[in-house]
Amino acid sequence: MSVSQRHSGPSWQYVTTSINRRNREVNHSPFFPFKVGPARIRHMKNIFTVILAGGKGERLLPLTEQRAKPAVPFGGKYRIIDFTLSNCLNSGLRKIVVLIQYKSHSLDRHIRSGWNVLNAELGEYIASIPPQQRINEDWYRGTADAVYQNMFLIEDEHPEFLLVLAGDHIYKMNYAEMYYWLIAKQADAVVGAIDIPIQDASRFGVISVNEDYRITGFDEKPAHPTPLPNDPSHAFASMGIYLFRTDVIRKHLLADAQESGAHDFGKNIIPKMIKDCRVYAFKFHDENKKAVQYWRDIGTLDAYWEANMDLVTVDPLFSLYDANWPIRTYQGQYPPAKFVFAQDYQGGRMGVALDSIVSGGCIISGARIQNSVLSPNVRVKDYAEVRESILMGNVVIGEHSRIRRAIIDKDVIIPPHSEIGYDREADARRFTITESGLVVISKGMKLHAAIDSSG
């Protein structure tokens, strides 16, 4: 039986004629034989999507002290998982499960409240699934084991393809293009890949490919990364995005479950598949449409802060304002943001926000906000000043306070006349301080007296 006979799905001829019929733009690069745009193509219904959202996110402590990493707020009104879920909807995917595990209450509530947008009568859904322990009493032992323990969900749907995504990355991607790449290459599996400078590649799982972009090797954080063919200055880094033919990956998951190891797609499954299966790399095609490709694994507090600060620049690397690629989230019933006091004279109060994102329900009362991101329902009171900071929901900044380069988690009340971010030694006695000197205040932390870090 030939490869083309063995693999079902639309033929290459069908793909090209179907796209030409829709007046799609054809891209003749070796990675993109076509461009499909935000798709509602019927073949996407053959894909079952699993989003892995059970990681602890320990490097983001204390932000992950009471929530899973995908539930961490980002960009004011969003959660990190909103970006992967929005990619799914914009790509035409309609059968989506989110595998939750650690500290999952906030994430589960967010998905149920904000993502119940599909029609169950049509067999469409986004559902959060806690560990079922149907196979054994273990928690998920790795990314592959998480999918293996939930194979019953996949078997119930009988999908032709299985898409596995990470729920803690920020990027824009049309997964339909990855699907058509798999069909064009008659592949058993496709791995999302982004080209990065070779000097940075040792921090990632590195994919080696031949000139046809068939994967020949997969190394986790190698000391000497393999460069791309014809480009010794760059390497392929795995994005943790995997598209499989279900009948093929089922066999590999069953075999992996019987062995010891990390039970990880990158470390175990893909290296074994490339020996006897057709596994290809799919180069990341960024729907963000900027000169620089944007894909972020927000792995540290400093990286999280920097990604948020980018959003308030005049021309951010990542755009939240693209109507052609909308980002959904749970919309709380908040009134509009309000800025009060316009005493435009020396010593007067001015409620202003410059180069900032201010969410609904916020009141800036005679205070100044600059280069900052405010989540819903924040209060900043008279003569307070907030710069280069992230204030999460329900934070209150007291009168005459000064805040600089800080992340203040939800439900924190900063007393009047406090100073944060001006004296590292004083801040370190009460709060988390990063290597760069960023101040992080835990969710709900009780502060009963003015904080003076000025000495």
Q: Using an 8 Å Cβ cutoff, are 357 and 318 in contact?
A: no
| Of residues 26 and 227, more confidently modeled | 227
- Mean pLDDT for 412-423 is 97
Distance CA 419, CA 399 (A): 11
CB 121 within 8 A of CB 94: no
Tell me how far the alpha carbon of residue 133 is from its chain's centroid.
Answer: 26
Task: Give the range among 19-28, 87-96, 245-254 with minimum mean pLDDT.
Answer: 19-28
Pairing of strands 234-245, 205-209: antiparallel
pLDDT-above-90 percentage for the chain? 80
Asked if the model's pLDDT at residue 36 lies above 90, the reply is no
Characterize 190-223 residue by residue with b for buried, 16 or more Cβ atoms within 10 angstroms of its Cβ, and e for exposed.
bbbbbbbebeebeebbbbbbeeebebeebbeebe
pLDDT, tens digit (0-9, with 9 covering 90-100), for 238-296: 999 999 999 999 999 999 999 988 999 999 999 999 999 999 999 999 999 898 999 99
The C-alpha atoms of residue 243 and residue 9 are separated, in whole angstroms, by 14
pLDDT of residue 13: 38
Q: CB burial class (10 A; 0-12, 13-18, 19+) of residue 334?
A: middle
Whether residue 41 is predicted with pLDDT greater than 60 in this model: the reply is no
Phi, psi for 201 (deg, rounded to 5): -70, -20
d(CA 16, CA 83): 29
- In degrees rounded to 5, what are phi and psi of residue 147? -70, -40
The dihedral formed by the CA atoms of 345, 347, 350 and 353, expressed in degrees to the nearest 10? 110
Determine the straight-line distance between the first and last CA of the chain, rounded to whole angstroms.
78
pLDDT in tens, 381-406: 999 999 999 999 999 999 999 999 99
Q: What is the pLDDT of residue 451?
A: 67
Rounded Cα distance between 429 and 398, Å, is 21
Whether 200 has a pLDDT exceeding 50, the answer reads yes
Residue 453's pLDDT band, with cuts at 50, 70 and 90, is low
- What confidence score (pLDDT) does residue 5 get? 42
* Domains of the chain and CATH, by start: 3-311 (3.90.550.10), 338-441 (2.160.10.10)
Tell me if 204 sits within 8 A of 221, measured CB to CB.
Answer: yes
Q: Which amino acid, 451?
A: I
Mean pLDDT of 163-175: 97
| Longest Cα separation, the chain | 84
pLDDT exceeds cutoff 60 at 412? yes
Q: Average pLDDT in the 14-38 region?
A: 40
Q: Any idea which of 114-128, 135-149, 288-302 has the lowest mean pLDDT?
A: 135-149
The pLDDT of residue 71: 96
31 has a pLDDT exceeding 70 = no
Q: Identify the pLDDT of residue 20.
A: 36
**156 has a pLDDT exceeding 80:** yes
Convert the pLDDT of each residue in 99-118 to its tens digit. Answer: 999 999 999 999 999 999 99
SS (HEC) of 337-405: CEEECECCCCCCCECEEECCEECCCCEEECCEEECCEECCCCEECCCCEEECCEECCCCEECCCCEEEC
- Render pLDDT for 309-355 as a digit per residue (tens, 0 to 9): 999 999 999 999 999 999 999 999 999 999 999 998 888 899 999 99
**Mean pLDDT of all residues in the chain?**
89
In this predicted structure, what is the pLDDT of residue 347? 85
Report the predicted TM-score, pTM, of the whole model to 2 decimal places.
0.89
Question: Which two three-digit tokens encode residue 221?
Answer: 């954080």
**Phi first, then psi: what are they for 272, rounded to 5°?**
-80, -35
Between 9 and 350, whose confidence is greater?
Answer: 350
* Residue 372 burial (10 A CB sphere; 0-12, 13-18, 19+): buried
